[in-house]
């Protein structure tokens, strides 16, 4: 299976995603923000990053930009619940900057797992 880094400032969601991904056989690391994620990326070969867009201390867009500069960037899925009232401009931006797929919160674990399988199969 894959090594996945889950980046979200919501600790409950991070934990839920970690459990769901581990249950299907993935190795999962977590980070509470983009700055912590960048530290993890330096030491852990990561196949996929699932990142929230809106976070303190280096948001998801900044993280996507930083990862895109790596010689071999990991695949990216951007998630966000911050656009509920005004469309999905930040998810659209994430897609244009390198996220392979995007997913609006809230979502079902099965939907995320299907998306992860799809992105890893590419």
Average pLDDT for the chain: 93
pLDDT in tens, 16-31: 999 999 999 999 999 9
pTM: 0.94
Task: State the Cα–Cα distance between residues 82 and 80, nearest whole angstrom.
Answer: 6
pLDDT in tens, 40-75: 999 999 999 999 998 888 899 999 999 999 999 999
Task: State the Cα–Cα distance between residues 82 and 79, nearest whole angstrom.
Answer: 9
State the pLDDT confidence band at 107, using cuts at 50, 70 and 90.
Answer: very high
The residue ranges of every structural domain in the chain are 3-121
Task: State the Cα–Cα distance between residues 35 and 23, nearest whole angstrom.
Answer: 27
Q: Which CATH architecture has domain 3-121?
A: 3-Layer(aba) Sandwich (3.40)
Pairing of strands 75-80, 101-104: parallel
Cα separations in angstroms, 34 against 20, 55, 59: 21, 8, 6
Would you tell me how many other CB atoms lie within 10 Å of the CB of residue 6?
A: 26
Specify the pLDDT at position 51: 97
pLDDT in tens, 69-96: 999 999 999 999 865 544 468 888 899 9
């Amino acid at each position: 299976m894959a090594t996945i880094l889950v980046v979200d400032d919501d600790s409950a969601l991070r934990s839920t995603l970690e459990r769901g991904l581990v249950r299907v056989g993935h190795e999962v690391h977590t980070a509470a923000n983009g700055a912590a994620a960048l530290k993890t990326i330096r030491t852990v070969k990561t196949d996929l990053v699932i990142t929230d867009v809106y976070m303190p201390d280096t948001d998801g867009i900044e993280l996507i930009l930083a990862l895109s500069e790596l010689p071999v960037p990991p695949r990216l899925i951007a998630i966000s619940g911050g656009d509920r009232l005004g469309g999905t401009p930040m998810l659209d931006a994430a897609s244009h900057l390198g996220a392979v797929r995007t997913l609006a919160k809230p979502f079902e674990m099965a939907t995320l797992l299907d998306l992860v399988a799809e992105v890893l199969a590419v």
